[in-house]
Structure formats: C-alpha cells, structure tokens
C-alpha cells in the first residue's frame, strides 16, 4: 500500500512538469465530423513573446481512412490582433498507395482566429484559441479529391491548446 501511495505522490509531483512540456491538442469539427488530434511537438514552434510573434502548429494525420491528413495552422502579429492566418488540412488518398492528393486550405480572408490566452513560461509559449471558417480543396497535380470528401469545401471550428518551444 505504501508503494501505491508513493507512486501516486510521485505522479502528482510530475504533473506540473508535463504541463510545461511542448505539445497540446486540437479539438473541434471538420465538416460534421468531431476531431481530436495531438499537436506534433517536434514540428510546431513559436517566436516572439507573450503579446506578439508567430506561431506554427502542425499535427500528424487526423483520420487517413476518411481522407484527412496533417493539419497546419500558422499566424503572426499581436495575439490580440493576429494576421497572416493560414489553415490547411492535407487530403489523403489510398489508391493505389497512400499519397497526398491536395489540401483544404484557407487564409485570413476566410478564417476567424480568437486567442483566449497567451503566456510565456521559460522557453515555451502557452497559447489557447479558436479558429473557424471555410476551407476550399486545392488538388495537387492531376490527383482528384479523396473519395470520402464531403465536398470541395469544409467548414471548420477548431480549438487549440498548445505549448510551443520559442525560437
């Protein structure tokens, strides 16, 4: 029993340290599909300070079986008024073998980004917000949209809660 109690105490002591590790999660909807995907910490980063800078967030494949590959979200400026907002989701086909066949994407003309919180903790930027809008499919080469795609456009509402290494 002492060992179980000690393991519990050690895990509680480690919890704040894990909250200060790079990473995070994106949740929301793509079309009418609920999604939850972990932030790809090795590919995501930020620069600047708690009030202004730039952010690049990437994920691994969202749901390849449904035609959704990696997600990328980027923006810069002040976090109260970000600009150069871009969001894309890779379209993934599997015939004859797995491949990227295009992207659903949008920029600040078709997106709304709200930052709920930004805070620098050591060399990490903790940032939370919501991006929403309409993404349009752009084929890559002569490949068609994924067979499972609902349409050439996708409505998205995504909440992100990220801890990003600062450059």
Check pLDDT > 70 for residue 155: yes
Query: What's the domain range around 105?
Result: 22-166
- 160, part of any domain: yes
- 8, part of any domain: no
The burial of 95, by beta-carbon neighbours within 10 Å (0-12 exposed, 13-18 middle, 19 or more buried), is given as exposed
- 64, part of any domain: yes
Length of the chain: 167
pTM, rounded to two decimals: 0.81
CA Rg, the chain, in Å?
18
Check pLDDT > 80 for residue 11: no
User: How many Å apart are CA 65 and CA 71, to the nearest integer?
Assistant: 15
- 12, part of any domain: no
- 2, part of any domain: no
First-last CA distance in the chain: 45
Q: How confident is the model at residue 4 (pLDDT cuts 50, 70, 90)?
A: very low
Nearest to 153 by CA among 131, 132, 136: 136
Into how many domains does the chain fold?
A: 1
- 145, part of any domain: yes
- 15, part of any domain: no
What number is the average pLDDT over the span 1-26? 56
Quick one: pLDDT at residue 149? 45
pLDDT tens readout for residues 112-140: 999 999 999 899 999 999 999 999 888 77
- 37, part of any domain: yes
């Amino acid at each position: 029993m002492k060992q179980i109690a000690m393991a519990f105490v050690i895990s509680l002591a480690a919890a704040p340290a894990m909250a200060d590790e790079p990473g995070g999660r994106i949740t929301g909807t793509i079309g009418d599909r609920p999604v939850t995907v972990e932030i790809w910490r090795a590919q995501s980063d930020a620069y600047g300070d708690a009030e202004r800078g730039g952010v690049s967030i990437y994920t691994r494949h969202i749901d390849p079986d449904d035609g959704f590959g990696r997600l990328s979200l980027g923006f810069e400026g002040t976090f109260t008024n970000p600009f150069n907002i871009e969001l894309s989701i890779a379209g993934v086909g599997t015939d004859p073998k797995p491949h990227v066949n295009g992207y659903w994407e949008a920029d600040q003309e078709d997106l709304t980004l709200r930052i709920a919180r930004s805070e620098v903790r050591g060399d990490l930027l903790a940032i939370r917000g919501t991006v929403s809008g309409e993404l349009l499919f752009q084929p890559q080469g002569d490949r068609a949209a994924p067979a499972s795609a609902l349409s050439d456009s996708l409505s998205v509402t995504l909440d992100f809660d990220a801890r990003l290494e600062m450059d």
